[in-house]
Amino acid sequence: MPNKIPVGILGATGIVGQRFIQLLEHHRWFEVAWMAASDRSEGKPYAEAARWRLKTSIPKNVAKMVVAPAKPDGAPKIIFAALDSGIAAELEPRFAEAGHAVITNSSALRMVKDVPLVIPEVNPDHVKLIECQSYRRKNGGFVVTNPNCSAIGLVLALKPLHEKFELETVMAVTMQAVSGAGYPGVASLDILGNVIPYISKEEEKMEEETQKLLGKLNGAGIIPAPFKMSAQCNRVAVEDGHTESISIKLKKKASAEEILEAWSSFRAIPQEKKLPTAPEIPVRYVNASDRPQPRFDVDFGHGMTTTVGRLRPCNVLDWKFTVLSHNTIRGAAGAALLNAELLKEEGYLD
């Protein structure tokens, strides 16, 4: 333990904050050394401040850790953030300003021009935008973001296809798990036996983040990928795991075999460098008529693998398929953690 790198967590008591703590419990490189949450939690031991909602227990050392004020003083250099968007917009720049590496799951700064929005398997080169941030130039601090939970699984499935065949059009309809709304989040009266065909700002995020993630780094900004993209987002009575029905059109026509081959052969920096949180297989195709399903597939690759299934021709575009991704692991805390590992590998955390 003495050799591990201390990290802090902003927003440690929420669902994503809890996932950070869970995923960091036995992490090879990092250890939780500091945490902050809302004023209500400040000064309390974590076990008392948080309403722990995960199936594993609170790590013992974390349980006793006292929740600090949400201020940069005394916080470790590396900060994972899982804040509500409004607060994030205020606190994240403040920590970066103070020289911290802020690796955040919040949506607040994702679309800011010089803020990298990164999936290590997809666009690791975008981290170079860090150098354009004023914080960085001043005192080394910076902000790096990961995408929305509905975008990340999809983009992992699209990346190998975009690389080889170039996307022309993407249509996505999601069926998203309740944990995506945090805790208490979705009221049981709203979702038991029901579908809610709306999640605030989700469709916009999904559309623009997908294009930024698959876009090209161009000096101090990103040129979004030029394909057309349309998303419809629904909430369903599932605990963890966003399921998505996707249709795509490709510029260069591809056979089913070529698409399956693109997915199965897809490996990237996290796999090559064997980053601690990287799944062995980033995109898995499951060859069964009725999969992927949250019940069976959400935890594959410790929740870091995107599972794809049901590839078949589309009468309107070229291909249809179903994507499943764990929304609070690959779609939130695990995404930020892998970003941190990439940043460390690339020397940004030294």
What residue ranges bind a second copy (CB under 8 A)?
15, 53, 55, 169-171, 173, 175, 178-179, 183-198, 207, 228-230, 232, 234, 236-239, 243, 245, 247, 289-296, 299, 309-310, 314-317, 320, 322
Across-strand partners of 295?
A: none
Question: What is the amino acid identity at position 224?
Answer: P
Please pick, among 100, 149, 162, 233, the residue that the annotation labels catalytic. 149
The nearer residue to a second copy, 33 or 196, going by C-beta atoms, is 196
CA gap 151, 173 in Å, rounded = 11
Let me know if 149 is a catalytic residue. yes
As measured in angstroms, the least distance from the Cβ of 74 to a second copy is 32
CB-count burial class (<10 Å; 0-12, 13-18, 19+) for 44: middle
As measured in angstroms, the least distance from the Cβ of 66 to a second copy is 21
As measured in angstroms, the least distance from the Cβ of 288 to a second copy is 9
The nearer residue to a second copy, 57 or 85, going by C-beta atoms, is 57
The nearer residue to a second copy, 92 or 244, going by C-beta atoms, is 244
CB count in 10 Å sphere of residue 56: 10
CB count in 10 Å sphere of residue 312: 11
CA dihedral for 100, 142, 38, 105, sign (positive or negative): negative
As measured in angstroms, the least distance from the Cβ of 346 to a second copy is 34
In this structure, are strands 228-235 and 319-325 parallel, antiparallel, or unpaired?
Answer: unpaired
The nearer residue to a second copy, 145 or 243, going by C-beta atoms, is 243
The nearer residue to a second copy, 90 or 204, going by C-beta atoms, is 204
Please pick, among 126, 162, 242, 326, the residue that the annotation labels catalytic. 242
- What one-character-per-residue DSSP string does 117-145 give? B--TTT-GGGGGGGGGSHHHHHHS-EEEE
Let me know if 242 is a catalytic residue. yes
Of the candidates 1, 2, 9, 95, the one whose C-alpha atom is nearest the C-alpha of residue 340 is: 9
**Active-site amino acid positions:** 149, 242
